[in-house]
Each structure stands twice: as structure tokens, then as C-alpha cells.
Structure 1
Amino acid sequence: MAASFISRMAPPRLRIFYAILAIFVVVALFAPWIAPENPNSQNLLGRLKPPGSDVRGITYWIGSDELGRDLLSRVIYGARVSLMVAVLSVVGSGLVGTSLGMIAGYYRGVTGTVIMRLVDIVLSVPAILLAIITVAIMGPGLVNVVIVLAFTRWPRYARVAYGQTLGLMSLPYVRLSQTMGAAGPWVIRRHILPNIIGPIMVVVTLEIGLMVLFEAGLSFLGLGVQPPTPSWGAILSSGRNYMTTAWWIAIFPGLCLFTLILSVNVLGDHVRDMVEKRR
């Protein structure tokens, strides 16, 4: 079923990327059943073992870390953390940014000016720097990382929604609804939102990869998901100390990050092309 869906959605040259993304999603959803070991179970006799090692009945398929934890299990659970943070932060920032952008574009005037100047202020600070500052103030943790990433990325949705809404305001059916006395929220919900959902979805697909990268960066710096919860960024951070003796600790989560972000970005480009063709 999944294979037939991918074949219908993507051209042949992109099916591999759709399949890779689907694999990551399945692994994240079913991590407790797929992971061979408890990701936090320590075995000091098996610390820093290379891929394929077998210690006390435990096979370390891609090696173990400095505490003897199964790296494969930690990478699998790390996929769950990364995708959960990415999806939740994208949903949060998308809802806030799209709503504010439509309100600014529909009402314009003082309301629109205030909202868009706030957008300019947030965008004037680099997103990763703003995220680091905010996490440092709020404290690290899974929930705080989601809130921080949603807070730093909503302006991108607001700008897209604002521009698309301005373009729709001159269309006959929107002006007719206003002339007949339709309330602003009704017009936004009935006429504006359905017609800007395509460009917003393009932003969503591109932002998911960025959210995965930002979460990994914050965890790498110790400001994201906290130990012992597995996170690709945290595993990379610990693995950098063992690059010469246990290269696998950093290499495998790094490859997962690269592959996931590449697949999501290719998906985003494909969605953008489809939206542009329909215009």
C-alpha cells in the first residue's frame, strides 16, 4: 500500500526520497517495537564496541557508545524525538504565523502594520541565535525546544500568508462577501484560508527539515533534549570526543540527519513545483 501511494505521488526520480522519508516516519512511530534494546540500558563491559560486536548476548549492530548503550536503539529513538519536535514546532509556528498573516492582510491598517513590523523585528535576529537565547532563558527540555522553535519560525508563515491574502482581497468573490456584510473571520475561514493552503504547505515541507536541523543543533550544544533521552544532536555531541577511537558514535546519527533533511528538502521542492503548476 505504501509503495503504491509513493508511486502515485512522486515521479520515478524522486521515489527513493519519498521511500526514505516514509522509512524514517515508520521507524519513529514504531521505535519501541523496532529497537533491539532499551536505548538507556547501560553495559559498561560493552562500551565503545565497534559495529557487529557481541557482548553478554547483546549484538551492537552499529556499535555502542561510551556507556555501553546500543547505538542502533538510540538512533532509532532519536528519530522519534527529532520528527516529533519538527512536526509539533511546525504545527505551532504554522498556526500562529498563518493566522496572524491572514489577519494582517485582511484588516490591513494599524493591525496589519503592527503585525508585520513584529514580523520584521523577529526576522531581524538570526533564527538559531534567537532560539539559543530563548532556550537559555526558558531552560532546556523537549517541551521548551518545541515552544522556542515555534516562536522563532512563525514569521515566515506570516509573510507568506500576508502576501497571499493581499492578492486575494481584490478578487470578486471576496469583495462580494464583504459587500454583503460577511464577518471578517467568516471570509478568512471560507475564502482566504482554502486558497492559500498550497503556498503554506510548501513552507511546511521546507520548514520540517530546518526544525530537525535546529533541534539537533540545540541538543548538540546541550540546550535541547536532555539526557538520557536519545537525540541525534546529543549523540553527535558525545561522539565528537571519540572520533579517533569510536567514529561510529558520530557517523551514524550524522548520516541519518543528512539523509532525513535531504529527503524532506527534495519533498519540499516537489510540493513547490506542483503548487506552481496549478497556478
Structure 2
Amino acid sequence: MTVVAPTVTAAPRRRRNLLRVAPFLAIMGVFVLVAILAPLVAPYDPYTQNLLGRLKPPGTVARNVHYLLGSDELGRDLLSRLVYGARVSLFVAFSSVVLSGVVGTLLGMIAGYSRGVVEMIIMRIVDVFLSVPAILLAIITVAVLGPGLTNVVFVLALTRWPRYARVAYGQTLTVATMPYVRLAAFMGAKPIWILLRHVLPNILGAIAVVATLEFGLMVLFEAGLSFLGLGVQPPTASWGAMLSTGRNYVATAWWIATFPGLCLFLLVLSVNLIGDDLRDRLDPRTT
């Protein structure tokens, strides 16, 4: 009598993964809602200074202002600045991911489908960009263009589009050999129609995974540039700028650097774990 081992399906494992990532989905949702509803959520104006209430610890009341998470060196409410800082971080991350994703995916599909000279030119440019550390390229570029919200978005998109191009290129090489794609080309369909109608829907899963993982990296890059004074400029609230200021008051006002750092940690951790779960779900080897 032959004993056949029971087949283990992926459904229970996916349910376990969903339960594991559910708290981080909730955390990510809270950050998004806080960023969208910042004017309604923030208890005070993040730019209003109160010099009599500077460097107050969490829970302090000064001049009828209740500093739930403390105040900074200019007496501004730290909680309000954290709320508006979330809006800046998420806006920069989302904008740079969309811009770099669109440009990189389009160029990658063109290179993978056209082949020949076009493929060689695009992929050699990709290799040049990938050969330089992204953060170093971002620092050099923003130092030339100047700091600011718009420039930060442009710089981050400029430094990260090659990753999307590389993934889209590899996926397009596979999809382009499928019978239905070759049949569409044989029937006279234009390349742009084939790319948008047949190739793009089949590579969106891989692109979505890259975009999710890149989102957390963009948050860190924005914070790093602001920390160095090359990102969002004062008095605009930014977690990276708050960390830069807080390092000068670590011994006397620990909360200025602690809470922005905690927010960065939670946001990046949540995005990365969500990206890992999305990758597992879209991986055909787990089905």
C-alpha cells in the first residue's frame, strides 16, 4: 500500500502572512490618514513659535499650549510638526515612486521589445546609473540643483528609475516571446499598442513589488537629504530635519529626535513588510 503525502496548499500560508502583516497595514493606513488630514489632526499650527515654551518635555503646558509630545528649540508643538512631517515624507515618496516607476517601466519595456541599438543604448545608460551609489548621486544632484521639495522629488526619481527599467526589461523579454504577443505583431498591431495592451498588464505585478519596496527607501532618502540640509528647507516640517535638530539636544531634550526617528522606523518597517507579503503573493512559485 502506497501512502501519498498530503498536498500542502499555499492558502493557509497566505492567510498566516496576512495576519502577520495586518498590524503593519493598519500602521501604514494611520500614517496615510494622518498625512491627508494633517490640518484636522494637528492640534496646533506647526510653525507657530512660543519661545517661553521651548524645549518643554512631553505633557507640559505653557501659555495655554499643551505639548503632548514636547516642544522643539523654538517652542513649536512637536506633535503638530510630526503630523505635517508625515505629509512631506509620504508626498515625496509617492511622487518620486510614481515618476521613476513610469519612466523606468516605459524605457525598460521599449528596450525589451525593440532590441537592437535601442536596447543597447537604454540598458547601457541603466548600467551607468546603477554603477553609482544612489544616495551619492542624489546628494551630488541636489547640491547642484539646490534644495527644495520639488528638486528632492526630481532627484529621487532620477536616481531610482533604472531599477524599474531593469525589472521591466527582464519581464518584457519573457512576455514578448509569448504566442499571443507574436500573433498581435503578425496581425499588424503597432508596438505601442502591444506594449500597453499585452506587455504592461503582465509585468505590473513585478513592478508593483519594486514600487512597494522603493517607497520605504524613498522615505529614508528624503529624511537623509533633509538631515544633511539638502532636502526640504525650514520652516517646513520634515522628519529628517527634526532629527538633524534633535541631535543637538539629545542630552537635554531627547524627545525632539526620538519621536521622528520612531515614526521613520515604523513607516519604513511597515512598508517593507507589506512589500515582502506582496512579493510572496505575486510569486508564482508560492501558488
TM-score (norm 2): 0.93
Please state how far the C-alpha of 1:10 moved relative to its aligned partner. 6.6
- The equivalences for 1:115-194 within 5 A come to 115-194=122-201
- The equivalences for 1:44-123 within 5 A come to 44-123=51-130
Distance 1:89 1:232 in 2: 17
Contact 1:219–1:226 (Cα < 8 Å) also in 2:
yes
Distance 2:38 2:91 in 1: 12
Aligned residue in 2 for 1:236: 243
Q: CA RMSD in A?
A: 1.2
Please state how far the C-alpha of 1:222 moved relative to its aligned partner. 0.1
Contact 1:31–1:76 (Cα < 8 Å) also in 2:
yes
Please state how far the C-alpha of 1:11 moved relative to its aligned partner. 1.7
Aligned residue in 1 for 2:225: 218
Query: 1:148 corresponds to which letter in structure 2?
Result: V
Q: Deviations over 1:1-30 (max 9, x none)?
A: xxxxxxx99721111000000000000000
Question: Where do 4+ consecutive residues of structure 1 move more than 6 Å?
Answer: none
Query: Is 2:37 the partner of 1:30?
Result: yes
Query: 2:250 corresponds to which letter in structure 1?
Result: M
Please state how far the C-alpha of 1:169 moved relative to its aligned partner. 1.4
Contact 1:10–1:18 (Cα < 8 Å) also in 2:
no
Distance 1:14 1:176 in 2: 42
Q: Deviations over 1:34-68 (max 9, x none)?
A: 00000000000000000000001100001000000
Distance 2:23 2:273 in 1: 10
Number of aligned residue pairs: give it. 272
Matched residue SS, 1:170? coil
Matched residue SS, 1:54? strand
Aligned residue in 2 for 1:3: none
Gaps of 5+ in 1: 1-7
Query: 2:94 corresponds to which letter in structure 1?
Result: V
Contact 2:229–2:241 (Cα < 8 Å) also in 1:
yes
Distance 2:188 2:161 in 1: 31
Aligned residue in 2 for 1:256: 263
Distance 2:140 2:124 in 1: 21
Decide which of 230, 247, 252 is 1:245's aligned counterpart.
Answer: 252
Distance 1:68 1:115 in 2: 51
Please state how far the C-alpha of 1:170 moved relative to its aligned partner. 1.1
Matched residue SS, 1:59? strand
Please state how far the C-alpha of 1:242 moved relative to its aligned partner. 0.2
Query: Is 2:283 the partner of 1:276?
Result: yes
Pick the structure with greater CA Rg. Answer: 2
Please state how far the C-alpha of 1:191 moved relative to its aligned partner. 0.4
TM-score (norm 1): 0.96
Query: 2:55 corresponds to which letter in structure 1?
Result: L
Aligned residue in 2 for 1:14: 21
Please state how far the C-alpha of 1:268 moved relative to its aligned partner. 0.3
Contact 2:18–2:277 (Cα < 8 Å) also in 1:
no
Please state how far the C-alpha of 1:263 moved relative to its aligned partner. 0.1
Matched residue SS, 2:185? helix
Please state how far the C-alpha of 1:273 moved relative to its aligned partner. 0.3
Distance 2:114 2:16 in 1: 37
Query: 2:228 corresponds to which letter in structure 1?
Result: L
Matched residue SS, 2:61? strand
Gaps of 5+ in 2: 1-14
Distance 1:186 1:9 in 2: 40
Q: Deviations over 1:204-260 (max 9, x none)?
A: 100000000000000000000000000000000000000000000000000000000
